[in-house]
Amino acid sequence: MVNEDDFLMLSGIQHFEFCKRQWALIHVEQQWEENVKTIEGQYIHRKVDQPFIKEKRGNVVRVRAMPVKSNELKISGVCDVVEFIEDEDGVEIPKLNGKYVAFPVEYKRGKPKKHDSDILQLVTQAICLEEMLLLKVEKAFLYYEEIKRRVEIIITDELRIKVKNIVEEMYMYYKKRYTPKVKTGPHCKQCSLRNICLPVLMGKQSVKTYIERKLQE
């Protein structure tokens, strides 16, 4: 039996690729702080985060805030939008009364990044859809608010393998309840957990210990 309570959050892939320590602070130590970027991100998602709303235009059906999961990866989350396009070479989707191909669309603030965190989150969504719907997801899209357009991402086998390796590493840290140390850099200035992370980054104490000590003071 698969216990979904033990599944990791799909959104954690993005945090982990950006910074393993940030991921552990959020998903292992349950730390979080709001900043301008996180608030803007929530605003951008407001339109798409309306669960189970379906829109049909021509041969395209858009499903918003679609829950997805992978029993193989033991990971679950929500796709901002999944677009189903009628296609005779697609697979039968009973609830949509026809054959379709599908791809996820993820909405992001800002513009395309130099690292792959957004791409890997999208690939993980594609893997979940493939497992759930028994179809092949060949491509997916990232919509960036700053440039006001979609960026097409081809879902390659190399990206699928990278996601699987990352999830295995995430589970290793999660099971050990371990928060890794990382090298600081310019990216730290933009991190929503900077105030929690940096005071103890080079020390031996955990974030939890640091906060408890500060509260006592």
Q: Give tens-digit pLDDT for 130-140.
A: 999 999 999 99
**Residue 5 to residue 72: CA distance in whole angstroms:** 14
For 104-119, what is each residue's pLDDT tens digit?
A: 999 998 899 888 999 9
* pTM (predicted TM-score): 0.79
Between CA 144 and CA 136 the distance in angstroms is: 25
Is residue 211 over pLDDT 70?
A: no
* Partners of residue 60 on adjacent β-strands: 57, 85
Rounded to the nearest 10 degrees, the angle between the axes of helix 117-133 and helix 157-176 is 100
Model confidence pLDDT, tens digit, residues 158-204: 999 999 999 999 999 999 998 888 777 777 777 767 666 765 444 44
Q: Phi, psi (5° rounding) for residue 142?
A: -110, 125
| The pairing of beta strand 149-154 with beta strand 8-9 | unpaired
